[in-house]
Amino acid sequence: GNSVTQMEGPVTLSEEAFLTINCTYTATGYPSLFWYVQYPGEGLQLLLKATKADDKGSNKGFEATYRKETTSFHLEKGSVQVSDSAVYFCALRAGGFKTIFGAGTRLFVKA
Amino acid sequence: SQTIHQWPATLVQPVGSPLSLECTVEGTSNPNLYWYRQAAGRGLQLLFYSVGIGQISSEVPQNLSASRPQDRQFILSSKKLLLSDSGFYLCAWIRGPPAKDEQYFGPGTRLTVT
């Protein structure tokens, strides 16, 4: 079946550090891939997405590239801010009714 | 534009009491609707989804139930709450029929069972 695996947290960084959160997936066919962000006490918001191989999704300084050869969709940001502290979820949709989510990675950014 | 509402925002209920959480979506028709639960510090657990009025699929056997009385209304209920029902409940929608688009989430309801 389809699945998403993302790196366990928490990840703690200092402000302006480089961020990578790893995400790999297993899916049949050609899924769409997503990163969602959840700030404390809120629902999930779409951060970025990619719908086909080699697409790069980007938003608010975050980027992720759909790598079919390595079945990966790693999230990166060149310089994190305290306001980026949140939980990040990698997810995929392969055309069925369900979205498959990873377990989430909590990010703490220290000033 | 589409908007999703959930209420109440927070709820404190005693064990054994009933529950009703409501979710409504504006700005779209015939959405696929979802209820998720998130325990403290944990990931998302899909509870129910619905592809149309009166059509409910249950993912996890438990003392919760869901109903969809109108196209854009989704209700989560329980007759008798358990301590383990505490958590953050999220409603979400996606345009139907099945596609590869993103889900949109509501603001959530924080439920504490005491």
Which residues of B fall within a CB distance of 8 Å from A10? none
For range B36-49, the mean pLDDT: 90
Does A94 sit within 8 Å of B49, measured CB to CB?
no
Please write the tens of the pLDDT for every residue from A54-99: 999 999 999 999 999 999 999 999 999 999 999 999 999 987 888 9
Cβ burial A36-68 (10 Å sphere, 16+ → b, else e): bbbeeeebbebbbbbeeeeeebeeeebbbbbbe
Does A95 sit within 8 Å of B99, measured CB to CB?
yes
Does A44 sit within 8 Å of B43, measured CB to CB?
no
Say yes or no to pLDDT of B61 above 70.
Answer: no
Does B98 sit within 8 Å of A96, measured CB to CB?
yes
Which residue in A46, A93, A106 is closest to B100 by CB distance? A93
Which residues of A fall within a CB distance of 8 Å from B103? 44, 46, 99
Output phi, psi for A5, to 5 deg: -125, 125
H-run or E-run covering A88: strand A86-93
**Average of per-residue pLDDT values in chain B:** 92
**Share of residues in chain A with pLDDT > 70 (%):** 100
Does B94 sit within 8 Å of A46, measured CB to CB?
no
Q: What is the token pair recorded at B62?
A: 């438990």
d(CA A16, CA A3): 32
Q: What is the pLDDT of residue B100?
A: 78
Chain A residue with CA closest to B42: the answer is A103
d(CA B94, CA B30): 9
Which residues of A fall within a CB distance of 8 Å from B42? 103-104
Q: What is the pLDDT of residue A66?
A: 97
For range B52-58, the mean pLDDT: 94
